[in-house]
Amino acid sequence: MSWQITSFVMFCASIIYYLILRKATINKINYRFSNIANFSIPSILFLILNLIQHNNLFPPLPLMGAMLLNAFFLSYIGAVVSYIAIQKAPNAGYSLIIQKSYAVFTSIAAVFLFNSTLSPIKFIAILITLASTAFVSISRGKKVNRANYSWVVLSFIAFFLFGALRLTNKAIINGGVPSTVLLFWSQLFVALFSIIDYLIHRKTAIFQATKDNLLTLLGVGVSVTFFYYFLLTSEVHAPNLGYVNVINSSSNAVYTVLVAWLFKDKLTKMKLIAVVTAILGLILLII
């Protein structure tokens, strides 16, 4: 499959994942349980996939060390910071647009790190798409003040952590590690960190094991597995991994529209126009 097709699958998986994560928040599922599902389920599925593909699960020690550091400092810490920022934000879309705007950072960095292409037209398409997505995600009347500014700081921290994660993952794959092996170890490492975190805070992390909550966590794990796989696959084959990151970021516009529709939030005609503009920016980016 071409990187455009795999990016579209990633785009859809991202929307589904964040909608299910929103449901987990509404169900008041402690984020520690969401984190465990977010990484343990993908680690199991990627292990099965690697066994089917007969991949070597044990790359050289330096690369294993790099994956471990990535898993803790960029993936695990990034996921925790991201989740808290989303919860603290007046609208999840506000935080997500900041976090996912790392596409500008990665698209420029990829030129210097991986000799990737980035024409002026493509860069303009990136800016159009991200600006349109930001316009959809931000609502009037909800301003940042001293009482709620913390989600902005946390969102920018997640921005840098996720951007660095995308770049270092690309470097590890260029070092000879298959993408599914990288995904298995990164998810397994972070799952272990998440379980340790839960054990430390198990007295305050309460979980109601209802059928709805269990299915929600299963949905989190399965949807994010598709998201991770097609995100990394697209980054490997795209002429610039930043293009894929922009497509990932633009999924937030559709997510915001769906949240507005599902939860009866007001959505203006200007925001719908911005969604169309974002789509046009994506078309300019992928052709």
Identify the pLDDT of residue 98: 83
Q: How confident is the model at residue 1 (pLDDT cuts 50, 70, 90)?
A: confident
Report pLDDT digits (tens) over 71-114.
Answer: 889 988 998 898 888 888 876 667 877 887 888 899 999 999 99
Report pLDDT digits (tens) over 39-83.
Answer: 999 999 999 999 999 999 999 999 999 999 998 899 889 988 988
Report pLDDT digits (tens) over 187-228.
Answer: 999 899 989 988 998 888 888 889 999 999 999 999 999 999
Tokens 């795999």 identify what position?
Answer: 6
Average pLDDT, the chain: 87
User: Can you give the pTM of this predicted structure?
Assistant: 0.86
Q: How is the chain split among helix, strand and coil, in percent rounded to 5?
A: 80, 0, 20
**Residue 221: closest CA among 34, 48, 26:** 34
CB-neighbour burial class of residue 75 (10 A; exposed 0-12, middle 13-18, buried 19+) = buried
CA 266, 270, 275, 278 dihedral sign is: negative
- Which of 47-51, 173-177, 249-253 has the lowest average pLDDT? 249-253
Tell me the average pLDDT across 122-136. Answer: 87
**Residue 256: closest CA among 14, 80, 25:** 14
Going by the DSSP 8-state scheme, the letter that residue 270 receives in this structure is H
